[in-house]
Structure 1
């Protein structure tokens, strides 16, 4: 392709009065655009040639000339450059998920590196025009380029199957230069705007992603969901709520997929929305209920990472849902969403034998007890069975499940102490059995973990003694007469010392 007119002034007299004739430079960019998106684009050699010609044209063009013809009625070269940027981003997009494969991904990484170098040249021209102070129209040009270049840089700077160290490095450089040219100190500032009267580019970016995030198309470009998720998490309150209608549908769509990876990604997006959108906005039009029902069903999936993401999201969603509930003091408190979720969790915990799921459930159980407080008495029988069952099973070197169950038991006794005395014998047996098991543990459990388990179990015994008005101390006195294990005896003596009012240092 000949770079005709790259350094020449636009021809005059070639158009009707009142009409603007495109310059030779604009025509050259239009030709390259046609070769990138037209019929010729199907041939790889044609696209490669178009990329080379674009690089040469940018090299040969003075920065100020890129923004000629930019006025209120015509966008000129900047508009064409914006379309070229979109075409370049599409050229470097990863293939559909079913078309994956390492060969396709390596080809995408190579294309991304080539496109990234072109974007660096283009942004360099914009920066030069900005610094020259003789071309005020550079801002209009940057407005057309910023969105497509941002989407490209995030697509290829994240560590994904379609990226390589080289493509990630180039994409990172593109993002850094974009932030410098737009005078933004961070990606968050770029998206939300760093000045009071500045809108930011979040709406522009979402407009570019929207065609790739509907039910029919969102699997065609596997990068779109990751760009959306990453971008969403950069915008926090108080800026996020104004975009709620744009971000909630894609988050629900991704969460509703059959693949666990997508479910988790969608739940993380919904969790960010819950944390950063005011409760009043989430309660409007029953949005909070929609989120709750969308992720509640995920609790039936036996995937520990998904369960963890869902439970964390629900724990932050409960306060919002309960704002819409009204309790009158003369009636029983209504059952809450937290009650519903805890009931399901306990149902799943009892027969669960997979260690990763057991740890996930146990890890989140204390938060549910704290959330319900004294209302945990509704679930006391089932909690008792779960606690006793989990204390009996060795949980590996870190003993995460048993430590969290002991934490749950301590909270349970603090909140529901009037109901604990009738469960004294059952809980005392379980705690003493745990202490004996840990004291004689032949496994490779580190000593600090064993000491922590013994300490937590001892604290539970002390609380149990308080809840039963000193009955534990009397029962333990009989054990001391026949017990020969020094570790067990040490734990029992600590309980007796505290019960008798002796200072207890917690060691």
Structure 2
């Protein structure tokens, strides 16, 4: 079988001397048959076929390579497009379980070889473009651009199936493709910058569609990364016209059981939320579908996933609220932001894993800002979470406690009439934090300690304003018995700020 494959390839390589267009098409058809047949897995015949394909491309003049006759076998641009698709599929990585060990290293070798073939093809396109005797180069490029792009993105990203050599070659292929199409960026290439053809993104999605469905998307581990990376290159105002093509794959990827895929899918959905008009997202109840798909991920105890989900939801809330209308004579209905914050606080209260605590605390201020005065609905649970998080050391950077102090200040600003009845509890929590930081023997950097003391002192000042000067009176007794200079300094700052204040609200 190997000998037969070698003879077939060599027979194709000897055809450029024949001036018949059908002979040239026949030669490429034989190579195409080889690439899609069972012999494609044999290393010896593969090497011979690639060499003969490069030789065939080099020996064929550009005007013959892109000529288009009336008969089907005379349509060289379409034939070259099919060859490019076959080469791209041939270099695709296998399933993850099949690619372990030496499987992925073989894929990287094949990708480097196929990249050289694509560079030769693109070189012919450039020669045809610069000559005046081959006006059909645009047709040839139109058939080649999609498969070449998919190949380049598949192997230029750092993945298990790539190597430094394959990434270098794939990067050269992508750069050469942008150069020939006169596009300054990938986004320009996809959306039709300096080009009459503005359907490239549609073409790319069409190439990915057969392998990006529920039954087959895991057969090629690269397809999800190519889709995600390509999607995020396209922004307003071009993305909304492709919404029906990009939304189902994004939901499919986010609904997977693997955390890595969930995160990838959520980021795709987040990009859609940011770059599709509100009216299109509200049509056919799409925004609600997005919300429920993303909301369910909040039950997963994976901090990377939670971070991606919360960021996406914060940008989705304004879209969802566009569909709600509040009448001034009735109580405001519970919003999606209320629902999410309630669940977050439920998870935060007993959480002991530091990475998750930091993730929740990092995003909590944004939710308080989003709700504003409606934060009072969650005040009891917020109080418990704030006090509980202020008590726990959070490592050298103290990210969680700093964000909780920021949250406390926002809560006091938005719901200050309800703060005076919580004066004693919050005052104790802030004073305890200041004392703990002042006596902290750990390796916490001084700038971090200073930031904590600054934020806690600002919290005391704000608490004093909410309670109409009661904090100043209570601290005056503490000042008489306190011997720690750091704590005394913070208390004096509160007293100095409060002197001469009139308490008519914040």
Could you say whether these structures have the same fold, taking a TM-score greater than 0.5 normalized by the shorter chain as the test? yes
Listed as ranges, the gaps of 5+ residues in structure 2 are: 1-9, 502-506
Contact kept, 8 Å, 1:366 with 1:404, in 2: the verdict is yes
In structure 1, distance between residues paired with 2:71 and 2:358: 62
Q: TM-score, normalised by structure 1?
A: 0.95
Residue 19 (structure 2) aligned to one of 9, 29, 33: 9
In structure 2, distance between residues paired with 1:79 and 1:301: 48
Q: Residues 193-212 of structure 1: matches in 2 within 5 Å?
A: 193-195=192-194, 198-212=197-211
In structure 2, distance between residues paired with 1:65 and 1:373: 69
Q: Deviations over 1:226-260 (max 9, x none)?
A: 00000000000110000000000000000000000
User: 1:321 aligned to 2:320?
Assistant: yes
Structure 1 equivalent of residue 91 of structure 2? 92
Contact kept, 8 Å, 2:22 with 2:74, in 1: the verdict is no
**Superposition deviation, residue 60 in structure 1:** 1.2
**Superposition deviation, residue 91 in structure 1:** 1.1
Contact kept, 8 Å, 1:120 with 1:174, in 2: the verdict is yes
User: 1:57 aligned to 2:56?
Assistant: yes
**Superposition deviation, residue 40 in structure 1:** 3.1
Q: Deviations over 1:406-460 (max 9, x none)?
A: 0000000000000000000000000000000000001000000000000000000
Structure 2 equivalent of residue 125 of structure 1? 124
User: 1:373 aligned to 2:385?
Assistant: no
In structure 2, distance between residues paired with 1:196 and 1:102: 43
What secondary structure does 1:481 align onto?
A: helix
Structure 1 equivalent of residue 106 of structure 2? 107
Distance 1:260 1:68, change over 3 A: same
Structure 2 equivalent of residue 190 of structure 1? 189
Distance 1:346 1:72, change over 3 A: farther
User: 1:442 aligned to 2:463?
Assistant: no
**Superposition deviation, residue 173 in structure 1:** 0.1
In structure 1, distance between residues paired with 2:424 and 2:396: 29
User: 1:433 aligned to 2:443?
Assistant: no
Q: Which sits farther off after the overlay, 179-188 or 223-232? A: 179-188
In structure 1, distance between residues paired with 2:328 and 2:291: 27
In structure 1, distance between residues paired with 2:215 and 2:67: 40
In structure 2, distance between residues paired with 1:289 and 1:333: 19
In structure 1, distance between residues paired with 2:393 and 2:70: 74
**Superposition deviation, residue 58 in structure 1:** 1.1
Contact kept, 8 Å, 2:125 with 2:137, in 1: the verdict is yes
Listed as ranges, the gaps of 5+ residues in structure 1 are: 11-21, 503-507
Structure 2 equivalent of residue 287 of structure 1? 286
- Give the number of aligned pairs: 491
Distance 1:442 1:276, change over 3 A: same
In structure 1, distance between residues paired with 2:142 and 2:69: 12
Contact kept, 8 Å, 1:157 with 1:172, in 2: the verdict is yes
Q: Residues 140-159 of structure 1: matches in 2 within 5 Å?
A: 140-159=139-158
Contact kept, 8 Å, 2:182 with 2:194, in 1: the verdict is no
**Superposition deviation, residue 200 in structure 1:** 4.0
What secondary structure does 2:97 align onto?
A: helix
Structure 1 equivalent of residue 493 of structure 2? 494
Contact kept, 8 Å, 2:62 with 2:134, in 1: the verdict is no
**Superposition deviation, residue 47 in structure 1:** 2.8
Q: Deviations over 1:329-371 (max 9, x none)?
A: 1111000000000000000000000000000000000000000
In structure 2, distance between residues paired with 1:71 and 1:487: 89
Distance 1:35 1:196, change over 3 A: closer
What secondary structure does 1:335 align onto?
A: coil
Contact kept, 8 Å, 1:7 with 1:62, in 2: the verdict is no
Contact kept, 8 Å, 2:91 with 2:111, in 1: the verdict is yes
Contact kept, 8 Å, 1:255 with 1:267, in 2: the verdict is yes
Q: Residues 239-258 of structure 1: matches in 2 within 5 Å?
A: 239-258=238-257
In structure 2, distance between residues paired with 1:122 and 1:184: 18
Contact kept, 8 Å, 1:190 with 1:200, in 2: the verdict is no
Distance 1:88 1:262, change over 3 A: same
